[in-house]
Amino acid sequence: MNEPEIVRLKNSVSERDHALGSQSAPVTLLEYGNFECIHCGRAYPVIKEIQRLLGDDLNFVFRHFPTVGTHPHAHRAAEAAESAAAQGKFWEMHDQLFTHQQALEDHDLLRYAKRIGLDVARFVRDMDENSFLKQVEAEYQAALFDEHVTGTPTLYVNELRYTGATDVEGLLLAIKQADTEGRIRIPERTKGVRGLLDRLHRGANG
């Protein structure tokens, strides 16, 4: 049986990225995502739960990969997120977009801008002028040609592409294995975590 190919992130995480968590965290989870992608929508609560469990032991990074051929609203949603980021509220818009994936028309985006307390006139101007279109397109092109991303969500754990199941147990296992310093402690009462801890124990003694 062939070992899975190890794919490394070429464009390392930098201060230009949208990151949530401690920069000194032992593990960074990076997602190339698309706000209209149903699979990203399913991954969203999984990642939220992992963030809740690990706190400052995880740094989460989100990069845009709006596949407009299959998701016609993805580009505008990404632009809306960047417009919110310019006002210091990327993550608030990120959450609105993922929790309302079926409503991503421009009037919906405006509603979310109001809901999270943006300067609405500035937001409308950004969207009308496509102020962040080039930035979103550049991120997409870098993902496509440098990282060879073809779909979403594409995940990396400490700059190694993750190809396992997008569920809490699978991702926690990969994150714990990537924690070479052994700093992460997973609460034992977490749903499904008993099996995870057993697998980690077997791996450590295998």
Domains by residue range for the chain, with CATH: 18-70+132-204 (3.40.30.10)
**Residue 114: strand, helix, or coil:** helix
User: Which residue shows structure tokens 């809490």?
Assistant: 168
What average pLDDT is seen over the chain? 92
Q: Average pLDDT, stretch 166-179?
A: 94
Paired strand residues for 32? 63, 154
Query: Picking from 3-12, 104-113, 184-193, which range would have the lowest pLDDT averaged per residue?
Result: 184-193
Look at residue 174 and tell me whether its pLDDT is greater than 60.
yes
The two tokens of residue 49 are 């739960």
How far apart are alpha carbons 74 and 37 in whole angstroms? 8
How far apart are alpha carbons 84 and 87 in whole angstroms? 5
Residue 204's pLDDT is 45
Residue 78's pLDDT is 98
Global pTM reads: 0.90
